[in-house]
């Protein structure tokens, strides 16, 4: 079959689908089966972590083999520093088979009872202070002065059963948002999706499902204060509550981000330290940064089909947040095509300035899943993250930057923005000036 006949046949199939599908009830979505070998493609526009560690930490009682502890605080710069913007913590770790009440994943503070933020295992506040419960997580945020084990309205204790059992490997994501709300996610070894295991808020409303102690069932934004002991795997109470096992990776942010954005950051961590320009990963597994502002087509199904005849088109508009060569983020997103029309006549339009306090959910557009996640910078500028899955099941060739289209032009910086060089640890990579941090 010649290329011309292939194009004509594809156009005919799409027109036939649209003629059929647009006259069907919305409960009868037309699903096409195809090769599912390429399951997920992610477009990521996420700020880089304040701390990103890829060196393994093998610990016994919170100590490395040489007997030292790990403090990630930089006394020269006074960073990372936490405040009302929130905090996010990610790690991938393997627990030994041992148990220890209050076994720390981390403990950030200036000592004991000094606005500490910590995650401890094998302990629960259900029924009172300090009860034993193997695998249970206590994610504690102390926002007042004094002993919050015996005093009211000083700290939040998020209590999550069966969170990280001994002898298992787990990815962990913990977040405190700018309003003080807290959540705990986990991803067992081999899983591809995060599971929300515990939370303080549901649909923006404080709930007590995971706040069993009446002393500790309120929330507050993080207090901006000195926390010079940012321990990984040990406590601020003098030791004895350390982690047994291995940290394989660790990242930390000084604001509240989503679990999906944290995963995106891990996927892009070996691609340099660009903070503003969108990081893309297509269905071929290729990772690259979008360096051109303006409208870009991320998804086009079938590949090469014009918008009016397409099944699905996802277009994103990247704006610079400042003047010449400043950071770029996705600000608007348009979702059109026959599959989008089935879900909502006319498709969907998303604007970063219309951020909602709702948990992002997957939209089903034909056989493809699409999720839009709102994010924000330290300065409060909002932007959009996009996650797409099941593209391999589309039944047609997938075009666009997240599909199989060429991305050479999209990842080439504008000529005037090619002059700044950034050196990262290990590999060296030319970084355009449109990043949050530039090096001469």
| Average pLDDT across the chain, whole number | 79
**For position 362, what pLDDT does the model report?**
83
**For position 17, what pLDDT does the model report?**
55
**For position 54, what pLDDT does the model report?**
67
More confident site: 366 or 189: 366
**For position 265, what pLDDT does the model report?**
65
**For position 393, what pLDDT does the model report?**
84
Residue 324 has pLDDT above 90, yes or no: no
Phi then psi for residue 296, to 5 deg, are -130, 145
d(CA 184, CA 199): 6
d(CA 200, CA 188): 22
**For position 24, what pLDDT does the model report?**
41
d(CA 377, CA 47): 7
- Contact 150/65 with Cβ under 8 angstroms? no
**For position 258, what pLDDT does the model report?**
86
Residue 189 has pLDDT above 50, yes or no: yes
For residue 236, what pLDDT band results from cuts at 50, 70 and 90?
very high
Residue whose entry in the numeric block shows the structure tokens 């699903």: 31
- Contact 141/154 with Cβ under 8 angstroms? no
Cα radius of gyration rounded to whole Å, the chain = 24
- What is the three-class DSSP state of 394? coil
71-83: pLDDT as tens digits:
999 888 888 999 9
383-421: pLDDT as tens digits:
888 888 888 888 899 999 888 899 888 877 765 564 432
Closest residue by Cα to residue 275 from 260, 286, 259, 264: 264
Domains of the chain and any CATH numbers: 3-46+272-429 (no CATH), 51-256 (2.60.120.200)
137-166: pLDDT as tens digits:
999 999 999 899 999 999 999 999 999 999
**For position 320, what pLDDT does the model report?**
76
Across the range 196-213, mean pLDDT stands at 94
């Amino acid at each position: 079959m010649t290329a011309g006949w292939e194009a004509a046949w594809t156009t005919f199939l799409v027109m036939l689908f649209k003629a059929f599908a647009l006259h069907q009830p919305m409960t009868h979505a037309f699903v096409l089966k195809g090769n599912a070998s390429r399951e997920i493609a992610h477009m990521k526009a996420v700020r880089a972590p304040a701390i990103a560690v890829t060196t393994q930490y093998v610990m016994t009682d919170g100590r490395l083999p040489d007997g030292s502890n790990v403090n990630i605080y930089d006394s020269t710069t006074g960073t990372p520093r936490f405040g009302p913007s929130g905090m996010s913590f990610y790690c991938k770790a393997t627990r030994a088979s041992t148990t220890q009440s209050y076994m720390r994943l981390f403990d950030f503070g200036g000592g004991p009872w000094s606005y500490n933020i910590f995650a401890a295992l094998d302990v629960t506040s259900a029924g009172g202070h300090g009860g034993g419960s193997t695998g249970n997580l206590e994610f504690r945020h102390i926002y007042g002065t004094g002993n919050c084990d015996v005093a009211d309205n000083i700290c939040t204790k998020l209590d999550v059963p069966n969170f990280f059992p001994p002898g298992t490997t787990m990815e962990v994501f913990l977040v405190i948002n700018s309003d003080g709300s807290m959540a705990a996610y986990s991803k067992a070894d081999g899983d591809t999706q995060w599971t929300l295991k515990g939370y303080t808020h549901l649909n923006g409303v404080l709930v007590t499902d995971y706040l069993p102690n009446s002393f500790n069932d309120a929330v507050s934004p993080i207090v901006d204060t000195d926390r010079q002991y940012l321990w990984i795997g040990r406590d601020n109470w003098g030791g004895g509550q350390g982690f047994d096992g291995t940290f394989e990776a660790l990242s930390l942010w000084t604001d509240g981000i989503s679990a999906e954005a944290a995963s995106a950051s891990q996927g892009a961590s070996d691609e340099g330290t660009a903070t503003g320009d969108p990081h893309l990963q297509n269905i071929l597994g290729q990772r690259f940064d979008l360096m051109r502002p303006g409208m870009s087509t991320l998804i086009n199904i079938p590949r090469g089909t014009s918008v009016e005849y397409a099944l699905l088109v996802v277009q994103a508009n990247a704006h610079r947040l400042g003047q010449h060569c400043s950071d770029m983020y996705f600000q608007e997103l348009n979702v059109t095509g026959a599959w989008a029309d089935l879900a909502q006549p006319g498709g969907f339009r998303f604007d970063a300035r219309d951020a909602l306090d709702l948990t992002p959910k997957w939209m089903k557009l034909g056989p493809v899943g699409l999720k839009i996640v709102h994010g924000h910078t330290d300065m409060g500028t909002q932007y959009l993250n996009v996650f797409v899955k099941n593209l391999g099941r589309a039944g047609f060739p997938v075009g666009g930057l997240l599909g199989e289209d060429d991305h050479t032009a999209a990842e080439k910086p504008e000529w005037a923005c090619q002059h700044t060089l950034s050196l990262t640890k290990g590999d060296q990579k030319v970084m355009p000036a449109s990043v949050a941090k530039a090096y001469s």
